[in-house]
Every structure is written in C-alpha cells, then in structure tokens.
Structure 1
Amino acid sequence: MIIADEVRSALEDGRGVVALESTIISHGLPTESSARVARQIEHAVRGSGAVPATIAVVDGQVRIGLDDAGLERIATDPVVVKSSIRDLGNVCAAGLTGATTVASTAYLAHRAGIRVFATGGLGGVHRGAAHSFDESADLPALASVPIALVCAGVKSILDVGATLERLETLSVELVGYGTSRFPGFYIQDSGYAVPWVARSADEVAAVLRARDGLGLPQALVVANPIADGKEMPRDLHDATLASGLEALAAQGITGKDVTPFLLAWFHEHTHGVSLQANIDLVLGNAQVAGEVACALTR
C-alpha cells in the first residue's frame, strides 16, 4: 500500500482526510470528462479544508492518493478492472490496474487510517433479488468497516426499500444530512424515511465519536440529498428508469454489469441531464465529507 506524501502528512498531523473511490472515474462517467470531474471532486474536498485521497490499484500496487498521471491512467485506460474487495488479491498479484468500488475503497481507506469517505450513490439490493440473490458487495463490506460514508442515498435503479432493510439487518447506522427523507441519487426523495437526522458536520462527528467509544465495527452512512434545483425532473427520471429496466431484461444483462449499463442508459437517454446531476451530487457529497473530516479533528 503506497500512501501519497500529502495524505500521509495529513494523517500524521491529525488533519482531515477524505477517501474517494475510483470506479466513478473509470466506469461511472464518460471517458472524455472523467479526469476533469475527478479533479473537481478533489477540489471540493480541498475547499472544505480537508485532503482528498483518491484510491485505486495501479500496476498491482494499492495507491492511497493519486497523482495526475495515476488519475489520468484510471480515467482513460480501457482495461482498468472494476475491483471490489474479492478482486483485490487477483488484481494486485497480476500487476493490473483497478478502479476501487465503494466496498474496496472503504476497506482500503480504513486500512490506511482514513475515517471519512465520499461517493455518489451506495450500492444495494437489485430489483428481483428475491430470485437472483443479486446484492452489492457494498452492504456486507459496510457491516465490518467503521468508516463514515457520505452518499446521495442508493442509486435509484436499485430496490431502495430492500436496501434499507438490509442496512438495518446489518446494523449499518443511517442518518440523513439535514433531511428526514432518504435520497434517491438523481432525486432528493426516494419515498422512504431515515431513522435519524444530523444537521451539521459537527453532529455527524459527534455520532462517530460515540460509535468509537462503543467499539461499533459498522459504517455510518450519511445520506446527503442532491442540492435544491439540481435534481432530475421526476417524470424524466421515472420514464428513463422504466425503459432502462426493459432494455436490461431484453439484453439479459446481470451481475456487476447492471449498474454501469443503467447509468450509461440514463446518460444517453436524458441527453446529459443525469450526467450533470451525477456530477452535482458527487461534488456536494465531497464537500460535506470534507467538513465532517475536519470536524472530527476538532
């Protein structure tokens, strides 16, 4: 594990550090804009006073913090492997380059001593999971990694209700950031409530300190809705989701290919509306995560 000098110094000095995943760079955004957006996300973390640590595997080596060359590699290399926890051993042993998911980023960030992590949307239970058993590895990973994850809820392409049930079963604590409603990625309200509300970064930090004192091993999910005026129109969202699910079934796409397919479907069939919403919500999460990381140091 190679920790970038800036990240290592911040950790040693007790300053705020925010982990960032790399799958969003390689698989979640169009190649022509992904490196630029990744730098914007890092800039949003810096704007809140914290240090960004984008995590990836480059030529078989885990990197906690990427330089420009590494970030460009993740953004543009067509053979970057989408790497969850179960893939890390093979990717590292084979000397490959891998983009880390929410699960593997959380795991590696915790190993490096980073307490706060920002992403776009959390993975969860897929529609039809009662028959396919298709559930994101993000959920069990968060059941064993004591990190604060700031996200815009779960991706609306998933079974939101079932995902919330699984989070409860796994004892993964959930708070809404300034909201009592669980966000749905592109939209502010997925139709479900959250059990607890935190109204500031200091309140989130207080919850994390209390959890540390109790020795709780699970993550704290901080659900931060996309900003007012930035969400996708509900009718456009619902129509695009319905057509995307039909295309998914028609093409027989399953497993880890489902999410990239549906995100690409949204990007293509909303003519850029979903892409902009995706960028806006990630930037908002990065800022909040930076504020939480700094609040933890006070």
Structure 2
Amino acid sequence: MDRYLDMDPAVYQAIQNNKPVIALESSFIAHGLPHPANLQTALEMIELVRKEGAVPAVTALVKGRIKVGLKDLELEELAEEGGKYFKVAASEVGIFLSKGTRGATTVSGTIYGAYLAGISICATGGIGGVHREVSRTFDISQDLIALSRFPVAVVSSGAKIILDLKLTLEYLETMGVPVMGYKTNYFPAFYSSASSYPLENNLKSSREAAEIIKVYQELGWKGGLLFVNPVPREDSLSPEFINSIVDEALQKANKENIKGKSLTPFLLKHLNQETEGECLKANISLLKNNALLAARIARAYYD
C-alpha cells in the first residue's frame, strides 16, 4: 500500500499516535470554487481544523500516489491550475494512479483515500446524490455508494441543491447509510439551511456524534455515517429562490448537452453568477462550518 499512499508526516504521526485527523476533499478547490477564493477557503478550513487540535489532510492524486495531507505549495498549485486536475471518484483512483496523472478527489474519492489511510472523519461541502431527471439520465453520484462501503463518517451540508434531495435521502436509506442531523430536524439543502424533508435522527453535540462513531466501530459496521450540518443561518438562501435558478440552469445544460462530471461545476457556476456571488458566499461559509464541526467531533472522539 505504501507504493500508492503518500501521507504527510504530520498526518502519519497523528494517526499512529491516535490523534484526531480530518480528511478534506480537493475537488472543491480544483473545480468547485473560483480562484483565489478556493485557496483562501482551503487555508481557512485548515486553520479551523488545527485550532480545534486536529490535523487537516487535504487529499489528492499527485505523481501516481494518493497524497493525504497536501503541502502549502501543492495547495497553491491545485487552486491555480485546477483545470489541469482530473475529477477523480473512488472507482477511478486506480486508473489515474496507474497513469500517474494529477487528480482532485471528489467526496467518494476522498472517503476512499481516508479509509486507506486510516482516517475516520471527512469534511466536505455537500455530497453528490441522485440528480434531477434521474429517470431519464440515471445519474446517481458515487458518493452515495462510497458512503455505504467505507467506514468513514462524513460531515456535509446535506446534498447539493442541484440534486433531487428526496430521492437522495431514499437512496441513502436503501444503501443502509445512517443519516443524522446536527442541531436540525430537516435535511439541509446545501445553500439553504433546511429542506422540507424531515430526518428521523438528530444530534445535539459533537460529543454525541463522536460516541455514535465509536459504537458503530465497536459493532464492526462496514459502511459510513453521514452527519448533516446546515449552512449558518446568516448565510442561508431561500430554497424557492435557488430552485428557480436551478431549473433555468438545468434547461441551459440540456440545450448545451452538458452532462456527467461537467454538469455539477456548470450548474454551480451558473448559480453563483445568477445570485451575484451569494451562492459562493454560502458555499464558503458551509465549507468552513463543516470543517469546524468535523474537527470538534474528532477531538471529542479522542478525549
């Protein structure tokens, strides 16, 4: 495994010494946020994790290896040259490693990398899910499969608003992924703090989340857990407003035949343009908030 896994010394030492480590995805840096906001957000997330006493580990594919814990210069390169990085899901990691190409890991790719490195908690913005018009496209994100296969707890603000949230929740249930709301009774809608879809389970503290992780590990649970954390209320956007723009963006994507891996970045870019940066502001806010919560859960886990 060492042939394909390149762990930053600080990450390696933390894992060996049973210290908290948080895996952070790299796709949002390469493909999700514009430069320089992408780099600034990543650095702020890293700092938030460190202030909570945890070690941040941004994950990406570099020189034919899974790099777990990017250096500052590697982060800068990723942020500045994101278009040159392939978007890598879990099932594609082996393909891109064999080619030695650079890759930014999606949520599923990051979950897989975290699992291989022995990291139990991952933070992201929003997971992928079941796309709208799925009956026509059958477009379902690998993130949901990875959550069901690898024992990693993921902190996210629900699923991206461009998706069918109801079907995403149904699919998570079908795949046996426990979904728990952090101080919320409703599934977050990414830019919006709540959707109309209720959750059966909710948590009141990071310590409660940490205890749940421990219990599942002691039971030998083979899959992951999903903790959904709403975007901070002051940055939350109206779901009705966002959904109207998503509908417009989907129509435009259909006309231009944009699909597959290109669809999500296209839709998010359109949303940011149409909301004059309000979506970008919310996205940055929720990313930092999720990194902070993940670090607090990890700290509680090891206390």
8 Å Cα contact 1:156-1:190 kept in structure 2: no
| Partner residue of 1:68 out of 72, 80, 88 | 72
The one-letter code sitting in structure 2 at the alignment partner of 1:32 is P
The structure 1 residue matched to 2:62, chosen from 58, 62, 70, is 58
Give the superposition deviation at 1:31: 2.4
What does 1:1-298 align with in structure 2 at a 5 Å threshold?
1-77=5-81, 78-298=83-303
Give the Cα–Cα distance (whole angstroms) in 1 for the partners of residues 51 and 178 of structure 2. Answer: 27
> Which deviations, in whole Å up to 9, do the C-alpha atoms of 1:31-89 show, x marking residues without a partner?
23211211111112112221100000112221000001111121122311101122212
- DSSP 3-state at the match of 2:196: strand
Report which stretch shifted further, 182-191 or 228-237.
Answer: 228-237
Contact 2:161–2:243, Cα closer than 8 Å, also in 1: no
Give a deviation string over 1:97-124, Cα, whole Å, max 9, x none: 1000000100110110101000000100
Distance, in Å, in 2 between the alignment partners of 1:7 and 1:162 is 36
- Residue by residue over 1:124-170, the C-alpha shift from the partner in whole angstroms, topping out at 9 and shown as x without a partner, is 00011122211001011111111110000000100101000000000
Counterpart CA distance in 1 for 2:238 and 2:53 is 33
How far apart, CA to CA, are the structure 1 residues paired with 2:210 and 2:21? 13
**Structure 2 unpaired stretches of 5+:** none
Distance in 2 (CA, whole Å) between partners of 1:138 and 1:287 is: 21
Bigger fraction of residues in strand: 1
- Aligned equivalents of 1:287, 1:79: Cα separation in 2: 29
Work out the CA distance in 2 between the residues paired with 1:250 and 1:241. Answer: 14
**What is the CA-CA distance between 1:235 and the residue it aligns to?**
4.5
Instruction: State the secondary structure of the residue aligned to 1:121.
Output: coil
SS state at 1:167 partner: helix
Q: Retained in 1: the 8 A contact 2:189–2:239? A: no
TM-score (norm 1): 0.97
Q: Which runs of 4+ in 1 moved over 6 A?
A: none
> What is the count of residue pairs matched by the alignment?
298
Report the aligned-residue RMSD. Answer: 1.1
Paired letter, 1:6: A
Q: Secondary structure of the residue that 1:188 maps to in structure 2?
A: coil
Which string of whole-angstrom CA distances, capped at 9 and with x for unpartnered residues, describes residues 169-198 of structure 1?
000001000111110000011110111011
Over the matched positions of the two proteins, sequence identity in percent amounts to: 38
Unaligned regions of 5+ residues in structure 1, if any? Answer: none
1:262 & 1:240 partners in 2: Cα distance?
A: 9
Quick one: which amino acid aligns to residue 63 of structure 1?
K
Q: Secondary structure at the match of 2:167?
A: helix
- What secondary structure does 1:262 align onto? helix
Q: TM-score, normalised by structure 2?
A: 0.96
